[in-house]
Amino acid sequence: MALLEGSGLAWLGLLGVIFCYRFVLRTPTIRRNGVPLRKPPNTLPIVGNGVLFLQARQKLFSWFVKCEKQFGLETFQISVPTLPPGVVINDPKNLEYVFKNEGIFGKGDFFKRLSRDLFGNGIINVDGELWKAQRKAGLAFLNASNLRVLTDVALPRYLGQAIKHLNGKTRDGNVVDLQMIFHEITSQLMGKMAYDMEMHADDDFTVAFDYASGATTERFQNPLWFVTELFTGSQFRKALKTIRVFGLRIVDNAARTPDKNRDPSSGSYSNSNRLDEVSGSLIQSLLEVFADDQKLVSDAALNYLSAGRDTVAQALTWCTYLLMQHGLVVNKIREEAIAASGINLRIGTKDEINSAVFTPISLPYTTATFYETLRLYPPIPFEIKQCEKATTLPDGTFLPEKSIVFWCTWAMNRSRICWGDDADSFRPERWLTEDGKLITKSAAEFPVFNGGPRLCLGKRMAELLAVQVIATMVLLFEFTPAYRGERVSKSSLTLPMEGGLPCFVKPSQYHTPS
Ligand code: HEM
């Protein structure tokens, strides 16, 4: 036994040495104008920054913020065992170069290998022709006329259901999880419009996807994931199976009901007809392009679903969290919504409010509030690209082929250099000119929607959805926290709030629940 233990230790030691040699000691130093890049605080011998990456993500965010404070816009090198050499960029000029050179900075083998189990060959995880075809299908789905149906018909329907549900909760003093409410709205909306299916926030698929997203993120943080998952990955594998089955169900459902509602000669244009007409248009486009490959259609469909529904629901959750701490912002959103809807503050009736805020109108202050939320709580907080070939960043940093480029949107969005001394404060006014017009930022300055040819396809959809939901919810309800302290995000590729957002809800002074 002792002998066995001894030889086991020897094997482990040998593996450790090979591991260190293979992944750490051979990691080349990256240079800027011939000078090695600086390394961040807490870099350890052998394991580099690997241990940091094992920490809870909130600590990781803080570490990136600390690095940005220390290095400013200077590019620095990080080393994590099992990762190719990597740099962290914070300078918008470097990021602009990355966005403009899609041919050099791809998704890369590293990202694809770790997320293939979850995303398969969906748009988020592919480059080249496969990416192009899926992007084209998405562009067709997200056209202006479909977005009109979204804001005129689909959103009022599902937002109306959420309001009804909340009305019921105003009387009994129950706690409501607003994260769940927002997820329900976006699940139903995407389910109906993209796939012509009923989907809900508590479906088995949603729970499984949530779990698998967390487990995939942990792969990025744990250099030995392929070993640890052998022992701890059974729930992950089960979740992946649930996701696969659900993906194929979406495809099967669409294949059995091809374009049933899109006959232009189908008669009157009631709202219900308008919604039926676009329902399932994304999955139908995907089927047209990849008809002979069910798995690919399923991957593509699931990628769109995760990109479109979780991000918006999370942004709305963080926005409400911030609004509960900023009463003055709430008042301004209300004033704007009421003024834009032509409702007199004192005489507004419930019906006037409902019909007014459910139609798309220009609400710059509310939009600014949404942007300010995305700045402080970007739904995709980290990004990774891999160099397909060697290149030099505008600041002179030479990146060898295969090296990795990270940017932490969470930290960049808190940079005092770029956002001023009050970068940590929630201040929607920073997005407005003196006469109340919205200020636009380039993708490199404000990378929450990515940039270049891979700019988020759903940016406009997200803005339309979020602004209408925020204005409506703020006008009709008062939310107060049913929790203590700070909320943080849980492990995921996006930014779900750990434990949801439990709140008490009361009707606002402008709303009399029916
Ligand atoms: C607040 C909401 C949203 C945020 C912050 C957001 C952010 C992003 C980001 C950062 C990316 C780049 C991901 C990467 O390649 O690493 C992305 C890509 C994408 N987003 Fe969004 N997104 C949002 C909402 C939506 C919505 C509503 C849709 C609609 C379906 C959508 C569809 C997509 C698609 C299809 C891509 C992949 C684009 C490509 O690779 O060409 N997103 N989004």
pLDDT in tens, the chain (514 residues): 343 344 444 444 444 444 444 444 456 789 998 899 998 877 777 667 777 777 788 888 999 999 999 999 999 998 877 678 899 999 999 999 999 999 999 998 888 999 999 999 999 999 999 999 999 999 988 999 899 888 888 998 999 999 999 988 987 778 999 999 999 999 999 999 888 889 999 999 989 998 998 899 888 878 788 899 999 899 999 999 999 999 999 888 888 876 554 554 444 556 667 787 777 788 888 888 888 788 999 999 999 988 999 999 999 999 999 999 999 999 999 999 888 876 544 334 555 555 544 455 689 999 999 999 999 999 999 999 999 999 999 999 999 999 999 999 999 999 999 999 999 999 999 999 999 999 999 999 999 999 999 999 999 999 999 999 999 999 999 999 999 999 999 988 899 999 999 999 999 988 877 6
Q: 458: Cβ below 6 Å to ligand 1? A: yes
Q: 503: Cβ below 6 Å to ligand 1? A: no
Where in 14-134 does DSSP place strands (E)?
31-32, 35-36, 76-78, 86-88, 105-106
Residue 459 Cα to ligand 1 midpoint, Å, equals 7
Q: 304: Cβ below 6 Å to ligand 1? A: yes
Q: Is ipTM beyond 0.90?
A: yes
What amino acid occupies position 117?
D
Token representation of residue 230: 């052998």
d(CA 59, CA 411): 12
Q: Domains in the chain, please, with CATH?
A: 44-507 (1.10.630.10)
H-run or E-run covering 17: helix 2-19
Query: What distances in angstroms separate CA 385 from CA 80, 271, 428, one per listed residue?
Result: 15, 43, 31
d(CA 10, CA 247): 46
Give alpha helix (H) positions in 350-430: 350-357, 364-376, 409-412, 416-419
d(CA 20, CA 26): 8
Q: 495: Cβ below 6 Å to ligand 1? A: no
Token representation of residue 361: 């109108």
Q: Within 13 A of 24's CA, how many CA atoms are on the CB side?
A: 17
Residue from 513, 493, 500 nearest 221 by CA: 493
Query: What distances in angstroms separate CA 239 from CA 114, 213, 285, one per listed residue?
Result: 16, 10, 27
For ligand 1, atom 1, the nearest C-alpha belongs to 312
d(CA 373, CA 497): 14
Where in 158-270 does DSSP place strands (E)?
175-177
Residue with structure tokens 């798995």?
295
Chain length of the chain: 514
pTM (2 decimals)? 0.90
What distance lies between CA 68 and its chain's CA centroid? 22
For ligand 1, atom 41, the nearest C-alpha belongs to 454
Residue 449 Cα to ligand 1 midpoint, Å, equals 6
Q: Within 13 A of 1's CA, how many CA atoms are on the CB side?
A: 0
- Which is the closest atom of ligand 1 to the Cα of 315? 1
Residue 307 Cα to ligand 1 midpoint, Å, equals 5
Judged on CB neighbours under 10 Å (0-12, 13-18, 19+), 19 is middle
Residue 484 Cα to ligand 1 midpoint, Å, equals 32
Q: 278: Cβ below 6 Å to ligand 1? A: no
For ligand 1, atom 19, the nearest C-alpha belongs to 456
Residue to mutate, 456, 464, 492, ligand 1, most ligand atoms under 8 Å from C-beta: 456
What amino acid occupies position 400?
P
